[in-house]
Structure 1
Amino acid sequence: MDRRCPAAHPEDPTPCVGPVSVRVLDAAGAVADGCEHHGARMLASLARGSVYALPEAPDGVAIRVFKAADGIRPFCWIDGPRTTPSQLSRAENRARQGC
């Protein structure tokens, strides 16, 4: 089995995309480094999370992860109906509010 980045959730079946290039922080200050793909998926699943580029990361990586996370539903690998705000992406919640 291929090793995945630390930001990959154990239940998320998707492989890493690219090298580890971002650091994702939760509201309590816990951190996980990850590829762009898993960094975005992790950020989408956090309330008040943030993302930073690692020192050797390509330009713009943190903003790409931030923008991608906006359209990803929290814990997007879990199947089932998604109806409450906590189950929808930030973009979906803004659209529901007419923003």
Structure 2
Amino acid sequence: MVVNTPPTGRRCPATHPEDPTPCVGPVVVTVLDRFNAGADGCEHHGARLLASLDGGRVYARPHAAPGTAIRVFQAAAGIRPFCWLDGPRTEPSQRSEIENRVRHGH
């Protein structure tokens, strides 16, 4: 099994340059935007990237454990877009999917 782990001191391609968090585990997902541009990432940064995209999708890499894409998808639902930025979150596009569902009674 081939496991792509970012070299020491480097982070996966799915990490936003302003996101200060380190990678958590190997590169196991590919996250695509609505135009099919994408980045490979660890579960942590894959979820954070997916949460910041409108119409994004996540796919497990061939070597990923079963359920990896589902875990990333579910984690992204609870993460605010661009969660590393501080400030009030007053618009639906600034809140997580779960926060928006709770506010709208779904």
Both proteins in one fold, TM over 0.5:
yes
The residue that corresponds to 1:16 in the other structure is 23
Q: Which amino acid counterpart does residue 87 of structure 1 have in structure 2?
A: Q
Distance, in Å, in 2 between the alignment partners of 1:15 and 1:59 is 23
The residue that corresponds to 1:56 in the other structure is 63
The residue that corresponds to 2:10 in the other structure is 3
**Identity level (%):** 72
| Deviation sequence 1:30-49 (CA, Å, 0-9, x none) | 01000000000000000010
Q: Which amino acid counterpart does residue 6 of structure 1 have in structure 2?
A: P
Give the 4+ runs in structure 1 shifted more than 4 A.
none
Shift of residue 71, structure 1, vs aligned partner: 0.3
Count residues with an aligned counterpart: 99
Distance, in Å, in 1 between the alignment partners of 2:44 and 2:9 is 16
How is 1:19-30 mapped onto 2 (pairs within 5 angstroms)? 19-30=26-37
How is 1:1-99 mapped onto 2 (pairs within 5 angstroms)? 2-99=9-106
Shift of residue 59, structure 1, vs aligned partner: 1.0
Distance, in Å, in 2 between the alignment partners of 1:48 and 1:81 is 23
Instruction: Classify the secondary structure of the residue corresponding to 2:99.
Output: helix
Gaps of 5+ in 1: none
| Deviation sequence 1:75-98 (CA, Å, 0-9, x none) | 000001111101000000111110
Instruction: Classify the secondary structure of the residue corresponding to 2:31.
Output: strand
Q: RMSD in angstroms over aligned alpha carbons? A: 0.8
Shift of residue 5, structure 1, vs aligned partner: 0.1
TM-score norm. by structure 1 comes to 0.98
Q: Which amino acid counterpart does residue 19 of structure 2 have in structure 1?
A: D
